[in-house]
Structure 1
Amino acid sequence: MRTNFASKYFLRVSYLIQFKEIVTSIMIALFVTITIYIVLYVFIEVAKRKFLVENAFSRNVAHVSTGILSFFLPYYLMPSQIVVLMLLIAGLLFYTKRARLLPGIHVTGRKSFGEIYYPLGIGVSALVCLPGNIVSFQFGIWILTLSDTLAGMIGGRFGGKKISFWSKEKTVKGTLSFFIMTFIISGYYFFIIGKFNMVEIFLLTFILTFIEFILVSGLDNLVLPVLASSLFMLLV
């Protein structure tokens, strides 16, 4: 009787220790990851001030760097951890925006909350896709990271003819750049999963380009990764 009780007691203690170890490892992974993001943003701000680069360039660097880091999150964080991480980052960026601490990331020539919507979009995408559809999650990340950034760079640097929508203007070159990059990314992903359908690729590209065109104030950063991931899952 005593032996049976003792064995059950030690078994429970063993489970408790394992649980604590798991929780500790989760907290460490989360802490290390958010620290990496913070160091990245601080480094970008310091580099911007040292080399006197334009805000648009530093924002693009932050945009791409955040996307690349987020691409690998499903390999070592659970979906719930990713969501918590992105909420923390969004809260941090909201604070720094109000406190005017990271102008290299926040300051633009227009009213925008895109840098805050960005992690929120990734978090929602993680809820939708993970853990079962890592490829779909990563597809949405690349659309946000590459297509959206390229559109902003081309449109901002080369300008050209503009189209007005909802009292906002977007350049034809920027929109065309988004379409081309999205078409390339979509084609690549459809190819690697063995379902290369040109009609579906074009349809997906057109829908995402249209949504990017009509959204203003940085809302594309919130909507694009979620929509891209969802449509990709639906089509494949």
Structure 2
Amino acid sequence: MFLPFIATGIVGILIILLCELVIRTFKIKGENARKLLHISVALYAATWAFYLSQSTIALISLILVAVVVFAQKYTFLHSFKSVKRITYGEIWFPLGIGVSAILFVNPAIYAIAVLHMGMADGLAAVVGVGMGNNAKKFRIYKQTKSIAGTLVFIATSFVIYLGYWLVFASVPVFENSITNAVAISLSSAIFVAATELVSPKGSDNILVPIVAGLFAILPTIQLII
């Protein structure tokens, strides 16, 4: 446990520093800087359950919370100080990783949960912000969302789910029918996107992975019943 823990921590620090270097070099600002860090960390964290225990991942997530609090207070990372809006997303993000590890024993389902938090949510935000005033927007629960960003979230979620059902699924109906896999992947993606839309103050970083993981489990339960 000790050596994998240390190795994971070292690689994690290197990823954060690399993101900071990219942000400073290319002068990436605002939401794009924050999401670059989120996506990079999430891609790495999605692999943890394949070689780390649930308790180790939970411990790492708590350490990340401490790092986030320190970084926000002393603002030495541009990805933390470049977002003007009030959000608890940076706190919820590492907690979402820990909660996902505790709730989902299956490493593949844990990966689904974390990838939704990082990739789907991250890419949606990048597209929405990137389109600027050209993006058609709407407000929900005092938050501004873009139609393009929501569609990107659904598309990314769909790819994640479809990959899971085609590569990791042990349920015969999905192994024998691509149509069923596509249908359940699309419907799951829409429901998870809806969760992201109604999640206030950065809580999507914990609610989205939980719901995403559950939607990977529910079809299996229904088929067994």
Task: Output the TM-score relative to the length of structure 1.
Answer: 0.81
Structure 2 CA distance for aligned equivalents of residues 53 and 201 of structure 1: 33
| Contact 1:121–1:221, Cα closer than 8 Å, also in 2 | yes
Pick one of 136, 146, 149 that aligns with 2:119.
146
Pick one of 123, 136, 153 that aligns with 1:178.
153
Q: Encode CA deviations 1:201-223: one digit per residue, 9 max, x unaligned.
A: 23311210101111132211111
| Contact 1:122–1:226, Cα closer than 8 Å, also in 2 | no
Number of the residue aligned with 2:10: 35
Shift in Å at residue 113 of structure 1? Answer: 2.1
Q: Note closer, same or farther for the CA distance 1:97–1:228 as it changes in structure 2 (3 Å cut).
A: same
Q: Percent identity?
A: 24
Number of residues of Structure 1 aligned to a counterpart in Structure 2: 209
Q: Encode CA deviations 1:10-29: one digit per residue, 9 max, x unaligned.
A: xxxxxxxxxxxxxxxx2232
Larger radius of gyration: 1
Q: Encode CA deviations 1:1-60: one digit per residue, 9 max, x unaligned.
A: xxxxxxxxxxxxxxxxxxxxxxxxx22321222232223223322332233222433322
Task: Output the TM-score relative to the length of structure 2.
Answer: 0.85
Number of the residue aligned with 2:223: none
Shift in Å at residue 74 of structure 1? Answer: 1.7
Q: Which segments of 5 or more consecutive residues in structure 1 lack a partner in the other structure?
A: 1-25
Shift in Å at residue 189 of structure 1? Answer: 1.8
| 1:136 aligned onto 2:120 | no
Structure 2 CA distance for aligned equivalents of residues 187 and 69 of structure 1: 20
Number of the residue aligned with 2:184: 200
Structure 1 CA distance for aligned equivalents of residues 121 and 110 of structure 2: 16
SS at match of 2:100: helix
RMSD after superposition: 1.8
Runs (4 or more) in structure 1 with deviation over 6 Å come to none
Structure 1 CA distance for aligned equivalents of residues 103 and 17 of structure 2: 30
SS at match of 2:145: strand
Number of the residue aligned with 1:215: 199
Segment drifting more, 120-129 vs 50-59: 50-59
Segment drifting more, 200-209 vs 98-107: 98-107
Q: Which segments of 5 or more consecutive residues in structure 2 lack a partner in the other structure?
A: 221-225
Number of the residue aligned with 1:229: 213
Shift in Å at residue 106 of structure 1? Answer: 4.3
Structure 2 CA distance for aligned equivalents of residues 224 and 93 of structure 1: 20
Segment drifting more, 53-62 vs 213-222: 53-62
Number of the residue aligned with 2:141: 166
Structure 1 CA distance for aligned equivalents of residues 219 and 148 of structure 2: 28
Q: Encode CA deviations 1:76-112: one digit per residue, 9 max, x unaligned.
A: 2111001001111111111211222213234313111
